[in-house]
């Protein structure tokens, strides 16, 4: 049975899309979506290039608002932010919700983005695997 994961960040232009791509590529048995909590911004082109280089980019990875996904059920919600988020949508009692604070890399530097992708791989893959018991 496929488990559904939602990655949230403030604008869905970089952090959450990177996490979505990495988790979808590296974990079997899950379907990962990402969305913006606040204001949707366009996908950062340098992030897109780094994901293409990593082999984890899909054309469907585009910035979107949480409103588009509000009626879906998720087993896990991961909130990625630089500062704790005070206002999150309501999720069912069966949904595990975690918040992880990240300091965003300099998105104009591809080396920094690639290092950050490695950090996401090292941290989010095991966390997600453990919580969902994959």
* Distance between CA atoms of residues 69 and 44, nearest Å: 21
Which residue, 101, 125, 122, is CA-closest to 15? 101
C-alpha 6 chain-centroid distance: 7
User: pLDDT confidence of 82, banded at 50, 70, 90?
Assistant: low
pLDDT of residue 83: 62
Question: Which pairing describes strands 96-101 and 76-81: parallel, antiparallel, or unpaired?
Answer: parallel
User: pLDDT confidence of 10, banded at 50, 70, 90?
Assistant: confident
Strands, sheet with 30-36, edge to edge from the N-terminal-most edge strand: 30-36, 3-9, 76-81, 96-101
Q: Which residues pair with 34 in a beta bridge?
A: 7
CATH number assigned to the domain comprising residue 90 = 3.40.50.2300
User: 47: which 2 tokens?
Assistant: 């992030």
User: pLDDT confidence of 50, banded at 50, 70, 90?
Assistant: very high
pLDDT tens figures, 86-107? 677 788 888 999 999 888 888 8
What is the reported pTM? 0.92
Provide the residue range defining the domain that includes 10. 3-132
User: Average model confidence (pLDDT) for the chain?
Assistant: 91
User: 65: which 2 tokens?
Assistant: 């608002």
pLDDT tens figures, 19-32? 999 999 999 999 99
pLDDT of residue 86: 64
Q: Which residues pair with 35 in a beta bridge?
A: 8
The number of domains in the chain is 1
The least confident of 37-51, 78-92, 106-120 is: 78-92
């Amino acid at each position: 049975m496929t488990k559904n994961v939602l990655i949230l960040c403030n604008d869905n232009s970089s952090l959450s899309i990177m996490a979505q791509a990495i988790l979808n590529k590296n974990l079997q048995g899950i379907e990962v979506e990402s969305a913006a909590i606040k204001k949707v911004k366009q996908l950062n082109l340098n992030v897109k290039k780094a994901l293409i280089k990593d082999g984890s980019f899909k054309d469907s990875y585009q910035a979107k608002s949480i409103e588009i996904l509000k009626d879906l059920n998720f087993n896990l919600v991961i909130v990625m932010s630089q500062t704790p988020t005070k206002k999150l949508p309501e999720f069912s009692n069966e949904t595990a919700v975690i918040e992880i604070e990240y300091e965003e890399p300099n998105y104009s530097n591809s080396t920094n983005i690639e290092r950050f992708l490695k950090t996401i791989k090292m941290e989010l893959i095991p966390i997600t695997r453990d919580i969902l018991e994959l």
